[in-house]
Chain A
């Protein structure tokens, strides 16, 4: 949540609003909202109804919690972007911001493409100038 708090202005500047959702009770969620000085709402799915309906329910931890995920939902209610993270504890804001700013490439593929581009560049350079031992 802290990362979203830091990027809240950037998300708004990119033309979107922001809302968070967890299974926390209102008092707990309100504590987080005040602590991080969030100006966006935190929805309280204490009945686990929405996380279940969205198939983002992890019943194995702490009495059942949400699987970290982020979506961009359009005014027509269509999902425009989604990123689900079952391994790490959270979903980064980088992909959302990139999407909102008009670069709609899925973030997951980016490192692979960048890596491949880098490899091709290094390889062409090596052929042209001869491979160099990286300095330091």
Chain B
């Protein structure tokens, strides 16, 4: 289920395009974060 407004986000850790590992928890540590899911170029 996609988390709805008010729900806890499902935390994750992924590597970014430069090879740095980033967790959602760390990304929001200093304030709100806009998380954009996009289709990509495949």
Contact = CB atoms under 8 A, between A and B. Distances in A.
Interface of A: 1, 4, 11, 15-24, 26-33, 41-45, 49-51, 53-56, 61-63, 65-75, 77-82, 84, 89-91, 96, 100
Interface residues of B, number: 38
B32 A75 contact: yes
Chain B interface, DSSP helix/strand/loop, else mixed: loop
Contacts, number: 168
Contacts of A62: 42
A49 B13 CA distance: 10
B19 A26 contact: yes
B25 to A, nearest CB: 7
B28 to A, nearest CB: 5
Nearest to B7: A79
Given A65-B39, A68-B38, A77 B11 contact: yes
A15 B14 contact: no
Contact of A73 (B1, B17, B18, B33): B33
Nearest to A27: B17
Contacts of A44: 14-17
B41 A15 contact: no
Contacts of A49: 12
A72 B5 CA distance: 9
Given A50-B14, A56-B2, A29 B8 contact: no
Output the residue of A26, A43, A91 with the most chain B CB within 10 A: A43
Output the residue of B1, B19, B30, B34 with the most chain A CB within 10 A: B34
A17 B5 contact: no
